[in-house]
Chain A
Amino acid sequence: MKVENIKAQMRKGVLELCVLGILSEKTMYPSDIIQNLKTRQLIVVEGTLYPLLNRLKRDGYLSYHWKESTSGPPRKYYAITEKGQELKSELKKAWEKLSQAVNFQNTKKTTENE
């Protein structure tokens, strides 16, 4: 197994939570979401996001509306739904628990080594 693959799997696990988190602040156009995720190095290629948004929308965690744009065709703006908010807080709890557990494990190991 390649190191890059392991890292990618780790990022994959938290991507939903990150998208929900970003959208809970304000509604956004996919490119803005991508920009946000990219600056934090959470995704490598943009194509990753589109199937994910579609799935979250299909399951009722996100909704979108069309908005006219000054240049080109109307754009889709995504917003988080109430169901999405619930999912977000649940995932957030899980993430906090997990990161605590992982951090604890790793700090313990380092101190033992010393």
Chain B
Amino acid sequence: MNKIEYINLGGIPLAVDVDAAHHLQNYLLGLDNYFGKSEHANEIIDDIELRLAELMEESMGSRKVANMKDVKYAINIMGSPEQFDNLEDTEEFAESVDHDFSEERESYQYKRKLYRNPDEKFIAGVCSGISAYFGINDPIWIRLAIVVFTITGGAGILLYIILWIVMPEARTSIDKLRMKGEPIDLQNIERMVEDGFDQISDLADRVSEKFTKKKKKW
């Protein structure tokens, strides 16, 4: 028997089995990345969510719990972001998909931003984030630098703690692409989403966060 999740989709409460909920969540994540973050984007996504809920209810008929079939039915009718793209431009992302290898693609490559890297971390991912920012392959060099700085009487540990506080953690797929300076296009985002990158690393994060918190209460 599958576990059931209770979700709120565009204001409509739905009971969905876990696999289907996961599939739906991935789809919504893809939409979120596609439309970007703006007031309009939220409005569009709210409208789409409401419609998805209606379509799922339509497919469910008298059943109480939505399954994968219902989710796929709704997503199939709504279409994937690439399918909207054939017909619709959204200002931020659509262009980069249309002109496949033109120079314009360059301008959609986001500037690298400094994030803590939650996927490759020793303590909080500060050094690994810095390495990604400067394009250094192995974070060991930055880590060594901090250690050497500490041993030679510098305030390495203090520096680390300050950076820990100041640097945001790369949480979303987009953050992680920005961290590595990879172009934010649908292929890259999809690749990450499909790999389940987010879910797994978030889960690992939460677990390790709990552990580090416990450890710190010496």
Which A positions have Cβ atoms within 8 angstroms of B? 5, 8-9, 11-12, 15, 30-31, 43-48, 50-54, 58, 72-73, 75-76
> Is B83 in contact with chain A by the CB < 8 A criterion?
yes
Q: Using a CB-CB cutoff of 8 Å, which residues 74-95 of chain B contact chain A? A: 77-81, 83-84, 86-88, 90
Distance of A4 Cα from B87 Cα, bound (Å): 11
17 extra interface residue pairs, beta carbon distance < 8 Å, beyond A12-B88, A45-B83: A11-B87, A12-B86, A15-B87, A30-B51, A43-B87, A45-B80, A46-B79, A47-B79, A47-B83, A48-B83, A50-B44, A51-B35, A52-B88, A54-B44, A72-B11, A72-B12, A75-B50
- Nearest CB in chain B: distance from A113 CB, A: 32
Query: What are the nearest 9 A-B pairs in CB distance?
Result: A45-B79, A73-B11, A8-B86, A47-B79, A12-B87, A47-B84, A48-B87, A45-B83, A47-B78
The answer to whether B54 touches A31, judged by C-beta atoms less than 8 angstroms apart, is yes
Residues of B within 8 A of A45 (CB): 77-80, 83-84
Q: Judging by beta carbons under 8 Å apart, are A51 and B84 in contact?
A: yes
Interface bits B25-46 vs A (CB < 8 Å: 1, else 0): 0000000000100001001100
Decide if B12 touches A50 in the complex (CB within 8 Å).
no
Residues of B within 8 A of A44 (CB): 79, 83, 86-87
Q: Is the interface of A mostly helix, strand, loop or mixed?
A: helix
| A73 engages B40 (CB within 8 Å) | no
User: How many chain B residues touch the partner (CB < 8 A)?
Assistant: 24
Residues A73 and B35 in contact in the complex (CB < 8 Å), given A47-B84, A50-B44: no
Smallest Cβ-Cβ distance to A4: which chain B residue: B86
By DSSP majority rule, is chain B's interface helix, strand, loop, or mixed? helix
Q: What A residues does B12 contact at CB under 8 A?
A: 72-73
Residues of B within 8 A of A (CB): 10-12, 35, 40, 43-44, 47-48, 50-51, 53-54, 77-81, 83-84, 86-88, 90
Cross-chain contact B10 with A73 (CB below 8 angstroms): yes
Residues of B within 8 A of A72 (CB): 11-12, 53-54
Contact B47 A30 (CB under 8 A): yes
* Contact status of A47 and B47, CB under 8 A, knowing A8-B87, A52-B88, A72-B12: no
Residues of A close to B47: CB separation below 8 A: 30, 50, 53-54, 76
A46 to B75, CA, bound (A): 9
Q: Which residue of B lies closest to A42 (CB)?
A: B87
Residues in A whose Cβ lies below 8 Å from that of B51: 30-31, 46, 50
| Residues of B with C-beta under 8 A to A51 | 35, 44, 84, 88, 90
A50 and B48 contact, CB distance less than 8 A: yes
Q: In the bound complex, how far is the Cα of B41 from the Cα of A51, in angstroms?
A: 8
Q: In the assembly, what is the distance between CA of A53 and CA of B44, in Å?
A: 9
Sampled A-B contacts (5; CB under 8 Å) = A5-B86, A47-B83, A48-B83, A51-B90, A54-B40
